[in-house]
Structure formats: structure tokens, C-alpha cells
Structure 1
Amino acid sequence: MTNHVTEKYIQECLVPGSRLLTAMQDADLPPALSASSGQRLLPRPLFLQEQEIHRFADDVIRVFELITSLPARLFGNDLRRYCAALAISERRTRLITRLGGAVPPQYGRADMYHDGTAFRLLEFNIASELGGVDRAGEIPRVLLDVAAFARFAKEHDLRYTDTGRVIADALRTAGAAVAPGREPVVALLEAPGGLAGYGAAWRAFEELMRSFGMDFHIGEIGDVRTRGDRVYLHGRPLDVVLRCYSADEILAEPDGEALAEPVFRAHEAGTVVLWTPMESNLFGNKGCLAMLSDPRTRSSFEASELAVIDRLVPWTRAIGGTFGQDGADVLEECLARREQLILKPNALYGGAGIVAGWETGEREWRQTLESVGEAGAVVQERVVPRSELVVDPETGRLEEWQAAWGLFVTPQGYAGTYARALPADESAVIGIGANEKTRTAGVFTYQD
């Protein structure tokens, strides 16, 4: 169920007086990252075979291409039909297709479990409001400055992908279109009031981007001002807007569309790059995986594409929207298979609203299925994550944890991996915002 590098690491941590045991505690995190995540780090990194994660990343990129082709494959490029199938409201459809509905750049984070034999894709966050970038490359980097870990890493030829650097390069490349020959001014913009809840994480992101020499700033969409066809944040003209406000957050504001409009207009005028455009919300919907998994759509894919879908995507079905309307048989199957299924609302994120059938009684499960909101939901087959052994530095005890892995992609391809972990069987949802016991881990790869 595990690998030889993990086994060796655990063996060394169990030796009395091992400095490897406290390597994560001894690592010197940058100030903003320490403030946001320093108290929620797993005591050790996780290890993956390099070939395995790169093969999976190749498949994830294929899935990105398949998802973004769904409007054409299944709905004749009619975005209104596509959005209706996903239970996306008319108002939300207007907002997220404001720039014409084109395919967004390849940018997102795939969330997956490893079931002991292979990775399985649980969700694909095709979006720019991504968590984990500040930790994915930085945790491995600071660990390599700890002597005990550096020795272990050298012995096993451990490597990592510097996610922050890859994403900084992607933002620079995007900004080159409007800021040729100079460093682009990049602003991460949150929703109104968003910095109150997410400011610590975004300050760690800002710290990271600035460490690569970027002219990088954070603010909220309501802080933006316009002069002519340029947009400004606190007096600075912007070249790239890293969008960390979602469609739902904009629509929650009485004047939400008006708040978003100046950035849309500047993007259309070619004076700023909106990274990513709202069109990402067309494809980050959980219902997209149901469209890939549903037997009604299989004739729309080639054999090689079906092979990728079958490798990555667990059984997933839609409830709600026109795509899920003829789902009486699906409902009965969901009722019968309660202990193997989990329900995830389309409109929520961060683990909110998820109901695990194996943690729910029959009556409550039926009520959950029959009371799905207007935005719809998906029901997905349970994937049981393999155990990750961890030695507690305080007690010296060997514990079992389970990990949810996050794999980043940019237009340049694979951009690294990090993980969130919980004690085994603690909860059906492994997320920083969903459970205070969740910890973050850096990820290293090795070659056999």
C-alpha cells in the first residue's frame, strides 16, 4: 500500500533521537506562509514515484481538453443548453459568458485520492481561485534546507516541482501580451470582503510571487478604479488580474455585475489580461465529471478518450439540471448503493454541503437526494484513500493518515503537487476549511 521511500523514512523516524522526525518543525518558513499555515503542517512530506505522477498529470491534461470540449461534443456549441444541463442559472450564465464563452487557458487544480493502486480524480477545479499554490513548492524548498532531510533527499534522489515558480512564469507569459519587454504589474483580486477570510493565504501567495521578482499586489474587486481603458489598484495600473473572486461571490453583491464590468472591458480593450476569465466557471462545475462518466455520452468519445475517463473518473452521476432530469433510475441506484456513494453540491466548494452515504442513515440519504438545490449536485462512487503512515514527533507513535492530493496544471503543463491529510477515517472530507485537524504536506518524487 505504500512505497519504499516512505518505508525508509518511517524507519528512520522511529530511531530514538532521529532529527528526521522533527525536520518539518525545524524548517524555516517565510513569514507570511508561517503565519497562514505554520501550525497546520503534516510532520512529514509525502512521496510519489515520479513516473506515476507524470502519467497521471498527462491524463489530467487530457481530461481538461475533454471537459472544455463538452459544449461542442454534447450541445452543438450552444452554451445556453450546456449551462441549463448543469443547472446554471440564466443570470450566472450571462456573467460567466460575458467575454464570449471561449475556452479558458489551461489552469487549475485536480483533486484526487490514491486508492493503493492508482490515483482517481474526485474534482477538477478549473479556476484561478486556487488554494495550495503558496505551499506546494515552498514546503519542499524549506525542508531541503534542514540538514537531516537534505541528507535523506540526496540519498534517495528526491525531487519536487516548484509550483510557485511555474505559476509566476505563467502569469508573466500572460502579461507579456500587454506589457511587452517589462515586468507586468499583477494583482490578485478577491471578492468584496474576501480578504477578511482569505487574506492570510493570499498574503502568503503575494510573498511567494514577490520572491520571484514579480510586481505583485492583492486587493478586492471593489478597490479597482478606471482611467480610460486602464484599471488601477491603489493607484497602480494593472497588466494582469489574477481572478480570485468567483461568479457566486460576484452575484451575491447587489451591484456585482457592475463591480466586475471594468475588468471585463479592460480585458476586451487589451489593456489587461483577466487570468482566468469567468469562462473557467463553465468547466469547473462538478457536473462536468458526471457528463464524462454518464453512459449516455460514451458514443461522443473515441476509444482512447474513454480509456482516460475510465482510468481517472469514478462512477459519477448528475442530480438536477436538464442533464439529470431523467434520473429516476439513477435515484433508485443511489438509494440502493448508499454506503458506496457521496453527494457533492455543484454550487459549493471547500467541502461544504457534502454528504457521505456511508455516514448517513437511509431516510436522511433519501431526503438529501430528493432535496438537492436549484444548482444541482453530483453523486460519486466512494474512493477509499490509502493510508499514509506518520510518526508523531511529540509522542513517537506511528499513526495512519489519509491524503487528498492536489495537482496543478498551467498552459505549460504539469505544475506540481501538494497534499492535505487527516487522521484515517476522521471524515469523508479532507480539506483545510472543512476540518480543523486537516494538515498540509509537501510532496517529493523519486525514480525507481
Structure 2
Amino acid sequence: MSAERVTAQYNEEFRTPGSDLPTVAQHVKDFPTLTPWHGEYLARPLFVAEREIREFADDLQHLVEMQFSLPDRMFGGDLDAFRSVLGISDGHWEAIRQFGGDVLPPRYGRADMYHDGTSFKLLETNLGSEAGGWALASEISRATMEVAGFAGFARRNRLGYVHPVRAVVEALRRFGAPVAPGREPVVAMLEWRGGLKDYGALALNFQSALRSAGLDILVAEVSDVHERGGALYLGDTKIDVVYRTFVPDQIAEEPDGWDLVAPLLRAYRAGGTLLWTPFSSNMFANKAGMALLSDPARRRNLSDDECRLIDRVLPWTRLINTDVLKTDTDLVDECLERREQLILKVNARGGGVGAVVGWETDDTTWRRALENSAAEGCVVQQRVIPRTELVVDPVSGETEEWHAAYGMFYTPNGCAGAYAKVVPAGSGSIISIAAHAKACSAAVFHQSELPAGDEVPAASELPADAAK
């Protein structure tokens, strides 16, 4: 049964008198580990074929490895030349360099993609521990499974999920083992100074979910910790692993940024405290890397199989910077002519910040956006139209159309589950929780291909490495 048929059956059962499926969203909202987060939830989960999500996850893993190889394969190992093309300023580069800029990061992050009705298309890789949503994805799915009606529906339709936070716990335990032999590592999530005021609810959600999965985690800001004897401490507690949620920009752009991170830098250099995802992850997550892979003119060191993989999962993406504006008039003209098919994204920004939607603007504004964003560095990317997700409103009973941005989590062990951010169709082209008053989060369940009659348990969950 296809995902569309599962959705149709779900919506039919949703409308059946006496069904408890309409209670799913409220049950999720009241779930203990989700109560710190005050967001809204879609009235139903989204469904995908397990085979499809596995194949995309495999492609994603190989594409991230290709991103890691870009300095060697396209720049002769010259990291300074690589970062120059990415548009990374001297100040930002210094922060990246000091905190592991020459170290390959672990494959850890959240890939964002749309489903265009035929297949998933990658929009961003979001490599690094600052990429959020792990706890939301984990606990939305877990809470949904507690509703009896959904558990029965899942059993009949062979639905399951991967719990992202359990994959996080496994990865952090392995990473922290060298400094915490024979015991659980002490992990601290560090926000930037003042960050808990804005993101405290998400931090508490993450802490609660990790504790539920068996690993305690401390939550603090960089200004709360100090270094002693080559290790980082929060009060009298030694920190084995820092799970950072701050980024190089914050160090480089605040007057006392380097003073704030000096204790962490000393502990990192001494090796007494480990840093989960060094700042090199920010370099490889830069959107310009996707443009370098997408551009056939730059692929001379890529194999035919690699080129086919890129074209399969990545929309047409091109790099725009001041050099390109001056030298590649053909590309600039193409971007101007294809405005209604393109979106502009600033290389090092996330969450839709700085993005300009070509099909929602005029020629003059589009040209100005290309010129203004070139100095910072940006990419233009082919528009991907997400498929329509049909959802029954639990109050009105009307069927509504929604669009989803899927987030696939990944660790060194492979795919670690998924969730989605959804907005009403037609309410805007950038799907973002922050930018839409009606935006919701949604669980994502995969349907296995077990032979008919073989049912999965009601609380089906694959281990993190089962979806590689």
C-alpha cells in the first residue's frame, strides 16, 4: 500500500464515529517530555514508504561524504581556498579553525527535504549539533503510539519509526568513552550567553527526552562554565562532552566572544573535555557546498555514479558571489530569466533567514537580491513544489491541504528517524515554524514492506542503524 493509500485510509478512520484518532494531537501536546515546548501539532502523522526513506538515507550518507571530500577533490586540500569560495569571513574562519576546522566532523545533523510527489529532494544538510528537532521528532512519534486507535492502525498497516534521541544517546556514549571509561559520560548542552532565554524550552525538551532515553544531560550557557586542570566544569561537576548549540558567528561577532569561549578552548585543546561536532561541521554545512556538487563544470573528479546520485537527490543549485557576478554572465542571465523557478538562500544562514523567493517577487527586486547577497555568498536553487498532504480538521471535519518540509536525522550509524514541519498550502513558500502562525510539527511513520499478514508490534521502532 502506498503512502497516499495509507493516508486515505487514516483519514477515513479519523472520520469514523467513536474513533480516538482525532485525539492524537492533543495527546502529543500533553505528553510529559513535550510540555516544555509550546508548539502546535498536526492532526495526523505523515506516512512514507520505508524503502523510499532508506534509499534516500543511503544517498544522503554518500552525499555528505562527498561534501567532506570537497577540499581535497576540488581545492587540492587547501582549506583556505575552500573557505574563500564558501564566503566565510576571516573572523568566522578563525573561530572555525580554533575549534577543529581541520578535523572531519561526525556525520551528525538534520537534512531538510521536500517530497515532490515522486521522490525526496534535498534542500539542506544542516550538519552539526546546533541543528534542532531531535527531541520533538522522538517524542511526537512515541506519544502518538500511546493512542490506542493509532497503535491499532499502525499494527494493521505495518507502520514504525526510528527514535532520534536514542540514536543521539548511542552516539554520545561512544564519543565520550575515551574520557569516561567504564561509566556514563557527563554531557552538557551549552548555549550561547542569553541563549536559554530564547531557546530554553527546546533545551529542556531535549534534556527531558535524553533523560527518558537513559542519558542525563546538563543544560547551561557558555558563561556558566569554567576550566580547571585541562577540563571544563559546571560548578564542581566535570564535563566530559560538550554538546554545543552555538555557532562560530557568535564568537566572531560579539566583542567578548573569545573571552566567553576561552575556558572551553583550553579544555578542548587539553583533551579533558571533548567537543561533539567541531566547527568544521559548519564549514561543510555551508550551502555553497551543494552548489559545488550540483555544478557539472566542477565535477571532473567525481565518478559517474556520484554525479547520478547528486542529480537524483539535489535540485539544480548554483553558487553566486561577487566573482561569479563579474565573470559568469551566462549564469547571471540564466538566474534572471528563471526567476520564477528559483529561490535564493544565503550560504551560512538557516531557518529561511535572508532567503528570497523568486516566484514571489518582481524582476527588479530579484536582481537587487542577487547583487546584495553576492557579497556575503549565496546559492540559487531550483524550486521544489512539495506534494499536498491531506489532513482532516478534528473540529470542522473538513479536509485541508498542507505542505511539509521533512527533516531526516542522521548520526555516524546512519538514518536516525524523521519528522516534519508543516504549513497550510498556499500560506508561503518557506516552511518554517518561526515564520508561520499556523505552522505545526508532525510525526513521520514509515510503512514496512513485510509480506501481507506479517504484522509489526504496536510500538514498532527500528534501531538507529536499521534504516541505513
> Which interval holds the TM-score relative to the shorter structure?
over 0.9
Deviation string, structure 1 residues 272-300 (Cα, Å, up to 9, x no partner):
11011111111011111111111221212
Higher alpha-carbon deviation: 265-274 or 317-326: 317-326
Cα distance in 1 for partners of 2:92, 2:322 equals 14
Secondary structure, aligned partner of 2:340: helix
Task: Measure, in 2, the Cα distance between the counterparts of 1:441 and 1:211.
Answer: 20
1:237 and 2:243 are equivalent in the alignment? no
Q: Deviations over 1:379-405 (max 9, x none)?
A: 100000000000011111000001000
Other-structure match for 2:190: 189
Residues 221 and 259, structure 1, Cα contact 8 Å, conserved in 2:
yes
Q: Which residue of 1 aligns with 2:453?
A: none
Q: CA deviation at 1:32?
A: 4.9
Equivalent residue for 2:419? 418
Paired residues of 1:241 and 1:273 also in contact (CA < 8 A): yes
Task: Give the residue type in structure 2 aligned to 1:194.
Answer: G
Measure, in 2, the Cα distance between the counterparts of 1:233 and 1:189.
10
Q: Verify: 1:64 aligned to 2:64, yes or no.
A: yes
Instruction: Tell me the distance in 1 between the aligned counterparts of 2:182 and 2:31.
Output: 30
Q: 1:163 to 1:148 in 2, by over 3 A?
A: same
3-state SS in 2 of match to 1:195: helix
- Matched-pair contact (CA < 8 Å) for 1:352–1:434: no
**What residue number does 1:140 align with?**
141
| Structure 1 position 331 matched with structure 2 position 332 | yes
Contact 2:187–2:242 (8 Å) recurs in 1: yes
1:375 match: 376
- Report 1:270-309 matches (<5 A): 270-309=271-310
Q: Which residue of 2 aligns with 1:90?
A: 90
The change in CA–CA distance for 1:152 and 1:100 in structure 2 (over 3 A counts) is closer
Asked if residue 151 in structure 1 is aligned to residue 152 in structure 2, the reply is yes
Q: Is contact 1:87-1:322 (8 Å) kept? A: no
Greater shift in the superposed pair: 326-335 or 297-306: 326-335
Give how far 1:234 is off: 3.1
Structure 2: 5+ residue runs without aligned partners?
A: 450-468
Q: What is residue 223 of structure 2 aligned with on the other side?
A: 222
> Residues 387, 393 of structure 1: CA spacing in aligned structure 2 closer, same or farther, 3 A cutoff?
same
| Aligned counterpart, 1:21 | 22
Contact 1:112/1:404 (8 A) holds in 2: yes
Residues 58-99 of structure 1, C-alpha deviation per residue, up to 9 Å, x if partnerless? 000001100011011111111110010111111211210213
The answer (yes or no) to whether the contact 1:27–1:142 under 8 Å persists in 2 is yes
Name the residue aligned to 1:203. 204
- What's the CA shift for 1:271? 1.0
SS where residue 429 of structure 1 aligns?
Answer: coil
Q: CA deviation at 1:192?
A: 1.4
Distance in 1 separating the partners of 2:29 and 2:438 = 22
CA distance in 1, matches of 2:299, 2:326: 18
Distance in 1 separating the partners of 2:208 and 2:6: 32
SS in 1 for 2:162: coil
C-alpha change, 1:325 and 1:186, in structure 2 (3 Å) is farther
- Match of residue 176 from structure 2: 175
8 A Cα contact 1:86 1:322, kept in partner: no
Deviations 1:352-410 (A, max 9, x none): 11111110011111111111153211110000000000001111100000100001110
Q: How many pairs are equivalent? A: 447
CA–CA distance in 1 between the matches of 2:437 and 2:33?
Answer: 20
Following the alignment from structure 2 to structure 1, what is the Cα–Cα distance between the partners of residues 416 and 131? 13
Tell me the alpha carbon deviations over residues 284-338 of structure 1, each in whole angstroms, 9 at most, x when there is no partner. Answer: 1111111111122121200111111011111111111657763322211111001
What does the per-residue CA deviation read over 1:108-129, in whole Å, with 9 as the maximum and x for residues that have no partner? 1110000000000011101110
Q: Find the aligned partners of 1:123 and 1:325 in 2 and give their Cα distance.
A: 27
The answer on whether the counterparts of 1:221 and 1:260 sit within 8 Å (CA) in structure 2 is yes
Q: Distance in 2 between matches of 1:57 and 1:324?
A: 35
CA contact (8 A) 1:27 1:146 kept: no
The two structures have a TM-score, normalised by structure 2, of 0.92
Alignment match, 2:48:
48
Secondary structure at the counterpart of residue 22 of structure 1: helix
The runs of 5 or more residues in structure 1 that have no matched partner are: none
Do the aligned partners of residues 60 and 251 (structure 1) sit closer, same or farther apart at CA in structure 2, a change above 3 Å counting?
Answer: same
Deviates more, 1:336-345 or 1:294-303: 294-303
Alpha-carbon distance between aligned partners in 2 of 1:68 and 1:321, rounded to the nearest angstrom: 25
**Superposition deviation, residue 215 in structure 1:** 2.6
How far, CA to CA, are the matches of 1:10 and 1:234 in structure 2? 52
Distance 2:74 2:151 in 1: 51
